[in-house]
Amino acid sequence: MDSYLLGLIAGSFVSIGAYSVLIGDNPLSKFTEHLYMGILGGFIFATNWNYVRTNAVNPVLQGNFIYIIAILLSVMLFSRLKTEWLWLSRYPVALTVGAGLGLAIRTTVMSDFLGQITATILPLNSLDNILMVIGTVTSAAYFIFTAQTEGPYKYVNKTGRIFLLAAFGVTYGQTVSFRFELVIGRLVDMLRPEVANYTYLMLLLVALGLGYGYRTKKIKWYKGR
């Protein structure tokens, strides 16, 4: 059996473990979740360590000593593990938060604020354009929570809410489709011809195991609604 097929079978088994949470928390699902967290944690640790080593440690070793500051800031971050030294971590946080906010603000003004307002300046010569202008203005105005919703503003607020609900409804419909696509993506791998029999066998074994556990009360029965 080659490593590719072995990988598909292993993937199928751990997927069944993950899906078993649908019938309620059980030892298999908890084992799978902890396994996932452990491997993912190790992966994130290793890849980020590789990045720091390549882009900070190696340049210092090659004589580019400015990166000592980056290494020092990274080490200061670990002071969060001890409350008395927590204040040291404020310096790297200051860097990331300051730079992050500065970078976001400087371009959001152009792209998200001015860009979207410019795009809303449309000739009012069609129903679509009229609705777009009204919808944008009223839905943006909906977020002014400091104004009392009375008088003419009450209608602005209500109209904005309708457009926002349309947006949320569209997002909901698209999200439902997205979630189905996620399951289908997994099932396609689990039900491949070369793997399907192993999947069915593992399903049977898991069902028998969990059934035995529930019958003998070794696993608590989950009362679904």
Partner 1 sequence: MSDRLIKMQIPIILTAIIGLIMIIEFFFPMPTAVTNLNVTLRSFVTIVSAAALILGTIVLTIYHGKKVGTKGSEWYYSIVYIIAFVVTAGLGVTNVRDTTFLWIYNNMTSPIGAALYSLTAFYITSAAYRVLRARNWNAAVLLVCALIVLLMLIPIGAILFPPVVPIGTWIRNIPSGAGFRGMIIGTSLGIIGLGVRVFSGRQKEHMGIREERRQE
Partner 2 sequence: MSLMKKLLDLDQRIIYALMFIALAFPILNPVVLPMDIQEYSRVSFEFADSIPAGSVVLIEGGLGAATYPQGGPGLEVQIVHLLGKGVKIVFFSIGTETAAWTVTAIDNALAAMPSGVAAEDGVNWVHLGYVPGGESGVAAFANDIRSVKSEDHYGTPIAQIPLLANINKASDFTAVFWWGGSEGSIPYGIRQIVTPFGVPMTGMCTTNEVPNYTPYINSGQLHGILGGVRGSAEYEYLMDMPGLALGQAMATNFGGLLWAFLVVLGNILYFIARKEEGDN
Q: Which sign does the torsion angle of CA 182, 186, 187, 189 carry?
A: positive
**In the range 98-157, which residues lie near partner 2 by CB under 8 A?**
99-100, 103-104, 107-108, 110-112, 115-116, 118-119, 132
Of the pair 22, 83, the CB lying nearest partner 2 is at 22
Report helix, strand or coil for 165: helix
Report helix, strand or coil for 219: coil
**In the range 206-225, which residues lie near partner 1 by CB under 8 A?**
225
Q: What DSSP string runs through 79-141?
A: GGGSGGGGGGGHHHHHHHHHHHHHHHHHHHIIIIIIHHHHHH---S-SHHHHHHHHHHHHHHH
Of 74, 126, 149, 175, the one binding partner 2 (CB under 8 A) is 175
In whole angstroms, give the CA distance from residue 89 to residue 76: 5
Amino acid at site 62:
Q
Contact letters (x/-) for partner 2, 20-59, by CB under 8 A? --xx-------------------xx--xx--x--xx--xx
Of the pair 53, 215, the CB lying nearest partner 1 is at 53
| C-alpha torsion 158→163→164→170, nearest 10 | 150
**Minimum gap (Å) between residue 98 Cβ and partner 1:** 3
Binding partner of residue 5 among partner 1, partner 2, none, CB under 5 to 8 Å per kind? none
Q: Should residue 170 be labelled a site residue for partner 1 when binding is judged by CB under 8 A?
A: yes
The DSSP symbol for 20 reads G
Of the pair 38, 100, the CB lying nearest partner 2 is at 100
What does the binding site for partner 2 look like in residue numbers (CB under 8 A)?
22-23, 43-44, 47-48, 51, 54-55, 58-59, 96, 99-100, 103-104, 107-108, 110-112, 115-116, 118-119, 132, 167, 170-171, 174-189, 191, 224-225
